[in-house]
Every structure is written in C-alpha cells, then in structure tokens.
Amino acid sequence: RHATKANRALKEIKDVLEQRVQERTATLKEANALLEGEIAQHRETTKLLRVSETYIKDILESMPLMLIGVDKDMNVTQWNKCAEEFAGLANEQAIGKNLWDAYPEITLSPNQVSEVIRKNTPNTIKHCQRGQYYFDITLYPLSAQSETGVVILIDNVTQRIMAEKLSVRDVESFAQGFHAQKPRAQRAQRAGSRRTPEAVELESSLEKTLGTKVEVCPGPGPQNGRIVIHYFSLDDLDRVTQIIKK
C-alpha cells in the first residue's frame, strides 16, 4: 500500500514536470520564432541600407563637380572622384587630412568654412583666378548630424563663362564669316532682314553676354551693317556699358 502511494506521488510529480517542460518548450519555440523574424528583418534592413549607401556613393562619385566634406575640425570626411582628379589626391589619402593639406590650392579660407558652421547657413562664393578659371563654390552646413561639418561643392564653370564672353574680335570674325557666306544678290535681298540663321545665332550669343535685347542687321555691302543694343532704363544702360568696357 505504501509503495502504491509513493508510485502515485512520483507519477504526479513526473506529470507536473513534463507539463512544465512542454510549456517552457512552447515558450522557447515562440521566442525563437520571434527572434528569427527579427533577424530576418534586420538582414533585410541591412541589405537595403547597403543598397542605399551604394546608390548614394555612385551618385556622389558620378557628379561632374567636386564634392568635399569636412568636419568641424576641417578634416576631410568626403572626397569624390572629381575631387580626386582635380586635386590629384586619392580618396584614401585625402580622408582624415586637414582640407588645406589635402588641397592647398582651394580658394577657401578656414574663416569662410567656420562662418558657415557658426551661422548654420549655406554660402555661395564666385571665384575668378587670374581671369582664366572661374569657380562657383557652395558651402552647405551639416548641423543635423552627430558631428557638425560642411559639404563643399566646387563647380568649374570656366567653359560656360568663357563661352558667354564673346570678345570684339569674336564678333567681328563672326560677322565677316556671316557676310562671306552670302552672295551679293542674296545679301542685298536680305539687307532689311535680321532673321537669318547666322544673325540669330550671333544675336543669341550677344544677348547672353550683355543680358539685354540685341539686333544684328546686315547692310547692303559685303562688310557693313549695324548692331543695335537695347536698354530699358538708365541703370540698364550703365550695366551694359560696364560690360562692354570690360
């Protein structure tokens, strides 16, 4: 009788333990399933971040202008392909260096960079180097990051500026070529008209340079005509005059 009671008690204890083991096992399976889901989600998020980082890096590398990032201590944090080519320094060598050690020729001062960080306001600087090179330099503050700094965009606009600045010799050469291409009878026929393709092209170039309406009117002779420059106020006249004097 005593043995029967003992066996019954042991069986009850065993049943309770098995029940607890089953409950714990179910809990662990549920926790593992949740953990596996979080791991899978983390992997997917990591993958998307890598794709996004690669995409942004490709954009920065393919930009046709220099992009340089610096921290508050003026050390380089970003250095794209165009910066490598223009400054002659590889990305690996530039990162971590002081900006002016990495690119001594840069036409910026530490005060200009510090001012952008202090005011937290973008700034654009137009720079001309010996009348041969022209740069648009824009500085953007980075204040939303854990580390403050500045992104510097340097656009070499020399070709555009030079294309817009026609010299008097260019105009004379263009006009002579315009007259030489037309037979005398054709020139006489069109003497009163300025809407020939050559005149329109010359007008467009002059209007871009002077910033006002220009008319090119060929004359009856092979090498004569007139150029009419319009102005719409005394201030406009003064502005155009200053451009011509340059």
Tokens 């009850």: give the residue.
12
Checking if the pLDDT of 186 tops 50, the result is no
pLDDT one-digit tens code per residue, 39-75: 888 777 777 667 666 655 666 666 778 899 999 899 9
One DSSP character per residue, 125-174 reads: EEEEETTTEEEEEEEEEE-SSSS-EEEEEEEE-HHHHHHH---HHHHHHH
pLDDT one-digit tens code per residue, 76-91: 999 998 899 888 899 9
pTM metric for this prediction: 0.48
Average pLDDT value for residue range 7-33: 80
d(CA 53, CA 190): 61
| Per-residue pLDDT, 217 | 77
Please state, for a pLDDT cut of 90, what percent of the chain lies above it.
Answer: 18
Tokens 């607890």: give the residue.
20
| Per-residue pLDDT, 107 | 81
